[in-house]
Amino acid sequence: MANMVQAIRLALHYGEENLGVKEIFGEDVGPPLGGVFTATQGLRTAWNSPLDERGIVGAAMGLAWAGFRPVAEIQFVDYIFNVIDLLKLAANATWTSGGRYKTPMVVMTPTGSGIHGSIYHSHSFDSIATKLHGMKVVCPSTPLDAYGLMISAIKDDNPVLFLKPKALLRVKGEELIPGEPSDEKELRSMIDAPIGDRSQWKPRWPDVKEYAIPIGQGKISKPGADATVVTHGRLAPVALEVAKAFAAAGTGDVEVVDMRSLVPYDWELIKSSIKKTGRVLFLNEETEITNFGEHLFRRTVDELFYDLKVRPRLLCGKATPGIGLSPVLEYAIVPQKTDVERALRELLDEPA
């Protein structure tokens, strides 16, 4: 099965061939590297830009206004902070123009912790991203979801920030992308560039098919009756693993809601799950002060207070200025599997 970078590459290839994508660019995005995580390797329309995030986002905005459907990359989300004002402009152009300008652009960027990335390769951006109203924000946790969300992002007439969880980029999927060869070695030989000289290399693209996951649609990755965990990105498979272990041990039936889209988000799905279980944990790796999960928390209290059996919970990153390199520090700052286990245990065990 394809891993997430391969899935993104396949979606971008599909976009080049079928959805009018003509410009895919960013730092090291073109040959020979094809992106520092190889998400753009072998793509026909991928090119290298100057080392200039403002130029990259500005170029994407101008191209979008000119009716192109650009896909731009910010190499790490940690380096997106110097373009927040431009992202805000991309996000508000439709509104300020009274609905007359479309801004169909995708900005993709690796996000979050989990690769021992220290202070500038571990950041999350969810809270700020979700305050750029007019921008859509997605964050997949599986290769197939990444494929389907990228196709929807390309087709969308609004700017879409596509957050790629760094820790999941090399994780293989459990579902085939439509058109993907079933032998993963074959896929690798077709679309992964060789090590060393690759100047003569050309990818052989499988005939992948359209598969779009609507932006704004979450999914239940494991149904459950006793408690709900609402999460996305790197922590979605962690929550799923814990929920499955609890189920196997007969110690709790947890429903896992993978948001996939942060804005707009699937409130109906979240709401119906919480109504069913009466217990909810919001789980993400952003820092605690003004966390995006706090918004969901507040809405839960406002709209579902009388459906709750126990107080809702938020498990998220500590409000430190950065994420330390030593694993001891990283694990102390960002939620890990044991933290998720503990939080879900407490949620399940509290008497109603």
Partner 1 sequence: MAQSSVAVSGGPFGTMDKALLLKIHALMVRARVLEERCIKMGRTGEGYFWIGGPGEEAFNVSLGLQVKKGQGPRYDYLNLHYRNSATLLAMGAATIDSIRQMRTVATDPYTKGRNFVNHYCVPEWNVVPVTSTIETQYSSAIGTAIANARTPGDAVTIVTGGDGGTAEGDFHSCLVWANRPVLPLPILIIVVNNHYAISVPEATQHGEKKISDWGKVFGMAAKTIDGNDVAESYAAIQEALAYCRKERKPYLLEAVCSRLHGHSSASGANRVNEPDCIAIFEEKLAAQGIAKKEDFDKVWTQALAEVDAAHQQVKKEPYPAPDTIWDGVYFESLPSSYPRKGGS
Q: Is 207 exposed, middle or buried (0-12, 13-18, 19+ CB in 10 A)?
A: exposed
- Note whether 81 binds partner 1 by CB under 8 A: no
Shorter beta-carbon distance to partner 1: residue 97 or 326: 97
Q: Are the beta carbons of 183 and 176 closer than 8 angstroms?
A: no
Shorter beta-carbon distance to partner 1: residue 36 or 84: 84
- Note whether 312 binds partner 1 by CB under 8 A: no
Per DSSP, the residues of 46-90 read: EEE--S-HHHHHHHHHHHHHTT---EEE-S-GGG-GGGHHHHHHH
Shorter beta-carbon distance to partner 1: residue 270 or 347: 270
- Note whether 268 binds partner 1 by CB under 8 A: yes
- Note whether 275 binds partner 1 by CB under 8 A: no
Alpha helices in 161-209 (DSSP H): 184-191
Shorter beta-carbon distance to partner 1: residue 57 or 208: 57
Cα(293)–Cα(27) distance, integer angstroms? 31
Shorter beta-carbon distance to partner 1: residue 258 or 330: 258
Active site residue 133: no
* Helix 184-191 and helix 4-18, axial crossing angle in degrees, nearest 10: 60
Shorter beta-carbon distance to partner 1: residue 111 or 300: 300
Q: Catalytic residue among 13, 116, 121, 133, which? A: 121
Question: Of the candidates 295, 310, 306, which has an alpha carbon nearest to the alpha carbon of residue 346?
Answer: 310
- Note whether 216 binds partner 1 by CB under 8 A: yes
- Note whether 306 binds partner 1 by CB under 8 A: no
| # of chain residues touching partner 1 (CB under 8 A) | 50
- Note whether 95 binds partner 1 by CB under 8 A: yes
CB of 229 to partner 1, least distance (A): 20
Per DSSP, the residues of 318-347 read: ---SS--SSHHHHHHHS--HHHHHHHHHHH
- Window contacting partner 1 (CB under 8 A); options: 85-93, 200-208, 236-244, 247-255: 85-93
Q: Are the beta carbons of 220 and 257 closer than 8 angstroms?
A: yes
CB of 215 to partner 1, least distance (A): 10
Q: Are the beta carbons of 112 and 166 closer than 8 angstroms?
A: yes
Of residues 4, 46, 89, 229, which one binds partner 1 by CB under 8 A? 89
Sheet bearing 71-73, strands edge to edge: 46-48, 24-26, 71-73, 106-111, 160-165, 136-138, 261-263
CB of 293 to partner 1, least distance (A): 14
Of residues 6, 12, 15, 23, which one binds partner 1 by CB under 8 A? 23
Would you give the binding string for partner 1 spanning residues 99-138, x where CB under 8 A is met? Answer: xxxxx-----------------------------xx-x--
Peptide bond into 104 cis (omega under 30): no
Cα Rg of the chain, angstroms: 20
Cα(205)–Cα(42) distance, integer angstroms? 9
* Helix 292-304 and helix 267-277, axial crossing angle in degrees, nearest 10: 60
Q: How many CA atoms lie within 13 A of 114 on its CB side?
A: 23
Of residues 93, 191, 213, 256, which one binds partner 1 by CB under 8 A? 93
CB of 36 to partner 1, least distance (A): 20
Shorter beta-carbon distance to partner 1: residue 79 or 267: 267
Residues from 43 through 72 that contact partner 1 (CB under 8 A): 47, 49-50, 52, 54-55, 57-68, 70
Enumerate the active-site residues. 121
Residues that bind partner 1 (CB under 8 A): 22-23, 47, 49-50, 52, 54-55, 57-68, 70, 85-86, 89, 93-103, 133-134, 136, 157-158, 216, 264-268, 295, 298-299, 302
